[in-house]
A and B are shown apart, each in its own frame.
Chain A
Amino acid sequence: MSSSLSKLLALLFAFALVGAACGGSSDEATDDSGGDDAAQTDDAATDDSAADDGDTVDLTQGGGVLAAVQARGTLNCGVSGAAVAFSFVEADGSVNGIDADYCRAVAAAVLGDSEAVNFTNLTAAERFAAVQAGEVDVLMRNSTWTQSRDTEVGMDFGPTTYYDGQQLMARAADGFSNSSEVAEIDGAVVCTNAGTTTETNVSELAGELGIAITLQTFEDYNQVVDAFIAGTCDVITTDGSGLVGRKAQQQPEGEEWVIFPAAPFSKEPLGPVYAQNDSQWADVVNWVVYATVIADESGVTSSTVDDALTGDNAEMVRLLGGEGELQTKMGLSADAFYNVISQVGNYDEIFARNLNPVGLERAGSANARWNEGGLIYAPPAR
């Protein structure tokens, strides 16, 4: 009997542990929501009734992520670390790529220093949880903007920084060419990342085409590519940019990898992601991206930014903090976007620096300037 009693106690203890674990995560959630909704409504109430300084601590928290980042002095930025040309950890430990540069751009705008970034490598499966827990302030992890992520998953998406689309990569030795069709992968072992849109896309497409594939998913994109190189995977699939980058870097001697189909079979708009319901922070991140795009439209680069500050282009003068108080109203310093352009560069510079080396060209793609047939467009700064 005593053993059955102890079993009962053990069961209760186990549930208590589960409960404690849930409590732990919810505590973190409390901190967050304190920053988001609850504290904000509280603040409104206190501002009306008793406008004394009793709640100053609450007020700084009420500032949300922006105030937290400014108080901390560094930006916590979630990246992949395994996406060549987007965010790739180099041998010396530095992180390079378009996503990493946009992390630096946000840091330059908020903190005035593009190097005040604390990069966190996240797998596809853990990225949104990291945003929700407040582990990272912003996620620049080549993440696709989808309806469910925007709503059900509780994320908000900034302006798209790279318009991508899913493709497949296979060996030319298996009889593939750049003009191959998706249906030709019937019978293949297809590898991709767990917890991604690519996993869903290829599963659905296989169902539609009526082909049988074995879908093998890994946590880390490095593992996917390694398994492809080893031969365990016949085909790998992800966003076209991810395939091009890896092909440029890792295609072995004497082997020919081909990327197909010519037209991607999905839309993958990639851009910054942050937790929903913090408009102030959302505005900051969005306008950092827009600032790089406007600078590109106006032809202002990191080397000509000083001239533009005192130049004739009124929009650029406003944007760079030469006059008006557009930036200070946002909670940033007046020269926030001046720092972005001078320290990181405009959209074209960022694109050319990171994506041209792996063979991704801007001209003629969806990522061209809007007045040159592309989709890169920013609202006016006024």
Chain B
Amino acid sequence: MALAQPIPGRSQHERPPLWRDAAVLKWLIQISVMVVVIAVLWFLSRVASTNLAAKGFEVNFDWMSGPANFQLGEGIDTVPNTAGRALWAGMVNTLRMAGAGILLATALGIVVGLARLSSNWLANKIGSVFVETLRNIPVLVQIILWFFIISELGALRNADSPLGESGPIPGWLYISQKGISLPRVFYADGFYQFMALLLILAVPIYFVNRSLHAKRDREGGESIAGRVTLGLLLVAALIAWFANGIMSFLEVPLYAIEDAWRAIPQPLMQTVLMLIALGAAFEFVRRFLNSRRTPAGLAKLTDDDYFRMVFAVVLALAASVIVWIVWPGLSSWIINSGGDFWGWFGDKFGADVNDVTRGSRPIDAMRPTIGTGRFSNFGPTGLTMSVNFAAVFLGLVFYTASFVAEIVRGGILAVAKGQTEAAAALGLSRSQALRKVILPQAFRIVMPPLGNQYLNLTKNTSLAIAVGMTDIVQVGQSVFNKNNQFLAVFIIWGAFYLICSLTISVIVNYINGRLAIVER
């Protein structure tokens, strides 16, 4: 009874009642928000599935292994066996478009951005016109415009044609209303042997490089390390190009690894996976506590800190449950695909299925050809961009490049003028100042907005449907037109674009982190 009476002077040290305790309230809010979010998602999905079920449509993914029944215009597999395979081919087309578009848009954007900063009147004006025109026309309009332009190019004629083969450079480059075809460069049989030998030869070169650097640090003077290393690497590449055949012995150990991998019993793999999860959680908690350690002992841990540690342990336990109970197939899948990988890797060094010894040329190329016969169409040898692909590609590249140009220009202008002057005062030449002082700082500014442009380009590839390029969206539409699985296809689309965007974000954030000024 007496304890129930608050003692004056000590009351502020006591914990307040639960409903006013900040720590409790914080947790309560976190948990209730999570419950609400999960409840809303559950409710929405219930409503959707009940209504769809009432109409006789159930969302399922069984159709993925069913027949596709249609051909694709281009891609890794134009006559897919299953609907899932068709979607995969569409995804690869989207990824090709996004990857190639990002590379070319960046290169073109940097050139135009630098041109806009140039004191050369002509370059400056061309850059300005490029940017102001292209970024102010919607990308969809540009794509359709490119499609019309390419469709109106000259007809593709094969050698049988009375007008002669079309060009502009017969046998090397064709630009026509049927698309654009270039020589294709590809990895040939000897590529993996070449890379393996190059890697082995690189080891001594690394040590030579290190000792040269050490010598320079000791004795001073002009460094020759860079040039010597480059020269040695070239020699190594030359040796590896011709002598890579000797690496075919790797077939034996790689196949041995494959056999060993396949012999792993499933419980062992499950144990290893569980240990990895638990070990990672343990290591996380250990490092976390270390980071909170001060010379005066362990710092006071906040609720957030506890939450992180508890969360890490719960995740690890959940992973263990998944490995052992929910999804035991995961372990056997890892064993099988690991074995497949090593077998595939071994095949790259051994003889092929027909026991023909591998050729030794690491890289090869084929020139584009035009099939003869009734129709003039590209043969499979060249690297061919269809009209549809080229239209989307050019539209996206030019549109995005105009933004990249402005970002690059802004980034360079944002580096204080004093930096240039300081570099000049140190006696750096103009190109040295640009390379070692201006651009590194400009990159730091440019990277985040550049990442946004990459995300935009990737998502804009879905405009391909306007000109009938077989990207994931078009293939998905064809699929759900036949089986009515709208929701399933939408989920696949959403997940695909989400994964693409998050991957780009992670890469850009990683580069950002590397470029950031380390502050203390």
Listed in ascending order, the chain A residues whose CB lies under 8 Å from chain B are 1, 3, 12, 14-16, 18-23, 25-27, 29-30, 32-33, 36-38, 124-125, 128-129, 132, 148, 152-154, 174-175, 184, 186-189, 194-196, 199-200, 203-204, 206-207, 213-219, 223, 226-227, 230-232, 234, 276-277
Contacts and interface: CB of A to CB of B under 8 A. Distances in A.
Contact of A231 (B74, B78, B155): B155
Interface stretch (B19-27, B122-130, B475-483): B475-483
A124 B483 CA distance: 14
B187 to A, nearest CB: 25
B44 A23 contact: yes
List the 8 closest pairs (A to B, CB-CB), nearest first: A195-B481, A26-B48, A23-B44, A230-B151, A218-B468, A215-B71, A29-B51, A153-B484
Interface in B167-200: 177-178
A37 B54 contact: yes
Contacts of A19: 40-41, 44-45
B374 A16 contact: no
B224 interface: no
B484 A152 contact: yes
Contact of A189 (B308, B375, B483): B375
A33 B477 contact: no
Interface in B238-290: none
Contact of B474 (A22, A174, A217, A230): A217
B373 interface: yes
Given A217-B73, A219-B466, A33 B478 contact: no
A199 B371 CA distance: 24
A125 B478 contact: yes
Interface string B433-463: 0000000000000000000000000000000
Contacts of A23: 44, 47-48
A232 B387 contact: yes
Contacts of B491: 18
B288 to A, nearest CB: 9
Contacts of A207: 79
B205 interface: no
Given A22-B45, A232-B178, A30 B51 contact: yes
Nearest to A229: B151
B70 interface: yes
Interface string B369-391: 00101110100000000111000
Contacts of B54: 33, 37-38
Contacts of B482: 148, 153, 195, 200
Contacts of A14: 498
A231 B156 CA distance: 9
A359 to B, nearest CB: 27
B487 interface: yes
Contacts, number: 153
Contacts of A219: 465-466, 468, 474
Contact of B371 (A18, A132, A187): A187
Contact of A214 (B55, B73, B155): B73
Contacts of B477: 125, 194-195
Given A15-B41, A232-B151, A187 B375 contact: yes
A186 B373 CA distance: 9
Interface string B94-113: 00000000000000000000
Contact of B78 (A16, A21, A214): A214
B70 A33 contact: no
Contacts of A22: 44-45, 48, 487, 490
B305 to A, nearest CB: 9
A164 to B, nearest CB: 19
Given A189-B377, A215-B73, A217-B478, A232 B177 contact: yes
Interface string B412-444: 000000000000000000000000000000000
Contact of A194 (B44, B51, B478): B478
Contacts of B509: 3
Interface in B466-503: 466-468, 470, 474, 477-478, 481-484, 486-487, 490-491, 494, 498
B201 interface: no
Given A22-B48, A219-B466, A29 B55 contact: yes
Contacts of A12: 37
Interface in B335-376: 371, 373-375
Contacts of B79: 203, 207
18 contacts: A15-B41, A20-B44, A22-B490, A23-B48, A29-B48, A33-B51, A125-B481, A129-B486, A152-B484, A154-B55, A188-B375, A195-B481, A199-B70, A203-B79, A217-B470, A231-B151, A231-B177, A232-B177
Contacts of A124: 481
B211 interface: no
B152 interface: yes
Which residue among A21, A153, A194, A206 has the maximum number of chain B CB atoms within 10 Å of its CB? A194
Which residue among B52, B151, B387, B484 has the maximum number of chain A CB atoms within 10 Å of its CB? B484
A38 B54 CA distance: 8
A12 B40 CA distance: 12
A185 to B, nearest CB: 8
B374 A187 contact: yes
A213 B177 contact: no
Nearest to A125: B477
A363 to B, nearest CB: 35
B297 interface: no
B220 interface: no
A188 B468 contact: no
Which residue among A154, A213, A223, A230 has the maximum number of chain B CB atoms within 10 Å of its CB? A230
Which residue among B45, B71, B387, B487 has the maximum number of chain A CB atoms within 10 Å of its CB? B71
Contacts of B487: 22, 25
B69 interface: yes
B56 interface: yes
Nearest to B476: A125
Contact of A154 (B41, B468, B484): B484
B69 A187 contact: no
A187 B70 contact: no
B72 interface: yes
A174 B51 contact: no
